[in-house]
Each structure stands twice: as structure tokens, then as C-alpha cells.
Amino acid sequence: MPVRFQHEDTAMPRMDVAKTIRWIKNTASRYQKKTGDINYLFCSDKRILEVNNQFLHHDYYTDIITFDYSEHNRIAGDIFISIDTVRSNAETFETPFTEELNRVIIHGILHLCGYADKTAEEAKNMRLMEYEALLQWNLL
């Protein structure tokens, strides 16, 4: 079951696709999950706002929207990532674009693994899991 990366109304970000797929699978495995069909769609702020309005009835920009189709221990879903917001967050937090992109990529996987970030405690836990996953990226 593939992990796919596509883009719409924005350029495809430069990334090591093979390494990223290995990292995604390794991260899922750390949470006792297997990967199914996972589709990443890199887009603009304009597009992610449209998706947020249409499907979630939210009228604001975000860096990521995850649609979860997971069943049992196999994760699957569609993950929209706004390259515009990733870029502006990288600037705001003074972190390299690639690191911020990886953080958002794995954030979607953590959602598919069943983790939320709605409360302060959940968000704190999510940041910790993202950090741990980013450390694993550097070991691949």
C-alpha cells in the first residue's frame, strides 16, 4: 500500500521521497501501526482554506488537514499540507523549511495513529512525539 506525494497549485517541495516513506513507516511501526494508502497533497494557503471551509466548516488557514480513513492497526488517509503556511511557520519559528515540512508530514501520521492535539496536554504530547520522530529522521 503506497504513500504518495502530490501537489496542487504550488510547486512540489524538494524532499527525499524514499527516505521520507521509510521514516513514515518506521514512525507508524513505533505506534504498532502499519501504513495503508496515505496521500499527501501539497497545496497553497488558498487551497487549504477552501478544504477547511468545505469539509470542516472552519474559516481559517492552517498548515495541515488530515482526513483519517484508518481501520484497525492500518493507517490510511489524505493529508493536505499548505506549503505557504509551512514556509511562514519556518520563518516565524526560525527553523529550516525542510525541518518544518518534516514536522508537519509526521504530524499527519501521528493523527492517523490516533493522537490528537485539541487540548493543551494533547498538544504538548504531540510536540514531544514530533520531536522524537524528527530525531529518528536524522538517524536514517
Q: How many residues does the chain have?
A: 140
CATH of the domain at 9: 3.40.390.30
**What cell numbers appear for 81 in the block?**
499540507
Which uninterrupted H or E stretch holds 110?
A: helix 97-112
Phi, psi torsion values for 4, nearest 5 degrees: -120, 150
Count of structural domains within the chain: 1
Question: What is d(CA 109, CA 70) in angstroms, rounded to the nearest whole number?
Answer: 11
**Residue span of the structural domain in which 30 resides:** 3-139
Mean pLDDT of 31-36: 97
Q: Does the pLDDT of residue 1 top 70, yes or no?
A: no
* pLDDT at residue 16 in the model: 96
What is the per-residue pLDDT across 68-94, written as a single tens digit (0 to 9) for each? Answer: 999 999 999 999 999 999 999 999 999
Q: Which of these, 47, 79, 82, 42, lies nearest to 62 by C-alpha position?
A: 82
